[in-house]
Copies of this chain bind each other. A is one copy, B any other.
Amino acid sequence: MTDENNIAQTLERVRQILETQSPSDAARVLLELHPADQAELFNELDEKQRDLLLPELDIASMADLLEELEDDEVLDAVDILSNERLADVLDEMEPDEAADLLGDLPAEQVTEVLSQMEDADEVLPLLGYTDESAGGLMTTWYIALRPRTTVAQALQFLRDVNPNIEVPYYLYVIDREKRLKGVVGLRQLVISAPETKIETIADPEVIFISSQEDQEEAARLMTRYDLTSLPVVDHELRLVGVITHDDIIDVLEDEATEDIYRLANMSDADLEPESPIREQIKGRLPWMYVNTLTALFASWVVTHFKSLIAEVAILAAFQSVVAGLGGNAGSQNVAMMVRAMALGKAEPKMIWKAFRKQVMVGILQGLAVGIVVGIFVALWQRNPVLGLILGLAMVFNMTLAGAIGTLIPFVLRYLGQDPAIASTILVTAATDSLGFFIFLGLATLFLNNLR
């Protein structure tokens, strides 16, 4: 099942047809693909081609396609639709996707479009939640039953409701006040006798989440308990929606991107190689300035050794080896701690055990690298004392890197910060400044043997 070739071929066909024949023929060819592939192809077209093609799709296909596009791509695409047509499409879309789209439109257009939608009541309850909350992730397309419903009635209900419904494999049991009381899997339903009451086969131990909780908690629960869907309740424990597995995968990917970006000192996880330059600068430059401060602080440390360096200029060539490799070792620790925290594998109580272990790793790595570099530079520069202080400084600095690189993520988390944010900068600041200080300080002590 390779899709890339298929998409490339279809893209060629669609382009040709758009040039020579009618856009409606091109639309028919596009629809031969899976909606996810349609979206990829659609993005490859230029704007004029997209504007020709989109109106040719029937409402249901348009809804499927729009669900697969990224937020900004959707906005570009629906530009050419009338509010009336847009309202029809939104009625067809999954309510959570429709709410996301509406959330990106100008306020006056939202009112206008909502007033023309038939199923506005499915989408309205979703508009109040922030993007990052469990409520912002959920859909209102789920199936809820009363406890006294029979299996036969439930099956009949399934035959009657919207066949596009996203979460047909779990049915939720609610009481008169809509409070969540249990869950029953479709499989349990089909293997039970028709007259069985739902309450007797439902599992009352249902795992749920509050709509105000962070979406990361939803991802954590669904991952931990291997759930394909997670019911969402309001503050009175009333069922208000359901989060489905595909939304969770997006959350997990966004979280990983965020961690990777923060470890590399970028604050905007939406940045992509082709993002507008203004966005890139906005997401990257602030951290560059923070880094500049720490780099200048390290320079200030070196300025104190100006006369030493004037006398033994070769020191300038090796100070960066100490600082750089220390920073490297520290980054390894930070990456390991941040990842362990993200995966829930780093509890506060393990801090001392991890700390001792990482200091030991720092000492050993320092020895392993320091001895090799020390001997090499001693021979290369025909200066055994230079080799000695270089090796010693590396052992010190890497031990320090192990200690600081382990502690800083814990400290940041303790302060309520994301452990990924600024960890790298703080660790590098320490390994740079202290690396210079240790190396040049040792050189000062051994100056008489060094000349």
Chain A residues in contact with chain B, CB under 8 A? Answer: 1, 3, 34, 36, 155, 158-159, 168-169, 185-187, 189-191, 207-209, 221, 223-226, 228, 245-246, 248-249, 252-253, 256-257, 259-261, 263-266, 271-274, 277, 280-281, 284-285, 287-289, 291-292, 295-296, 298-300, 302-303, 306-307, 309-311, 313-321, 323-325, 328-329, 331-332, 334-340, 343, 345-346, 350, 353-354, 357-358, 360-361, 364-365, 368-369, 372-373, 376-377, 406, 428, 432, 436
Contact = CB atoms under 8 A, between A and B. Distances in A.
A323 B320 contact: yes
Contact of A313 (B248, B263, B307, B346): B307
Given A253-B256, A281-B364, A310-B310, 14 more contacts: A3-B224, A34-B225, A168-B187, A245-B245, A252-B253, A264-B332, A264-B336, A273-B350, A277-B361, A288-B325, A295-B325, A298-B321, A299-B318, A306-B316
Contacts of A296: 321, 373, 376-377
A314 B316 CA distance: 10
A295 B1 CA distance: 46
Given A302-B317, A339-B261, A328 B288 contact: yes
Contacts of A316: 302, 306, 309, 313, 315-316, 319
Chain copies in complex? 2
A345 B272 contact: yes
Contacts of A309: 309, 313, 316
A346 B310 contact: no
A421 B306 CA distance: 38
A172 B187 CA distance: 15
A28 to B, nearest CB: 17
A311 B309 CA distance: 10
Contacts of A307: 313
A424 to B, nearest CB: 9
Nearest to A165: B187
A305 B221 CA distance: 58
A331 B209 contact: no
Contacts of A315: 316
A284 B361 CA distance: 9
Contacts of A228: 169, 228, 245
15 contacts: A158-B190, A189-B190, A249-B252, A261-B336, A272-B336, A280-B357, A281-B368, A284-B332, A291-B328, A292-B321, A296-B377, A299-B320, A306-B314, A306-B316, A319-B320
- Interface hub of A36, A284, A324, A377 (most chain B Cβ within 10 A): A324
Contact of A186 (B169, B226, B273, B369): B169
B264 A334 contact: yes
B273 A336 contact: yes
Contact of A1 (B169, B207, B310, B320): B207
Most buried by B among A34, A190, A221: A190
A249 to B, nearest CB: 5
Contacts of A207: 1, 34
Nearest to A230: B1
A368 B319 contact: no
Contacts of A266: 332, 335-336
A288 B225 contact: no
Contacts of A225: 34, 36
Among A265, A340, A361, chain B packs the most CB atoms within 10 A around the CB of: A361
Contact of A265 (B36, B264, B285, B328): B328
Given A186-B187, A325-B295, A338-B260, A357 B320 contact: no
A234 to B, nearest CB: 14
Contacts of A272: 336, 340, 345
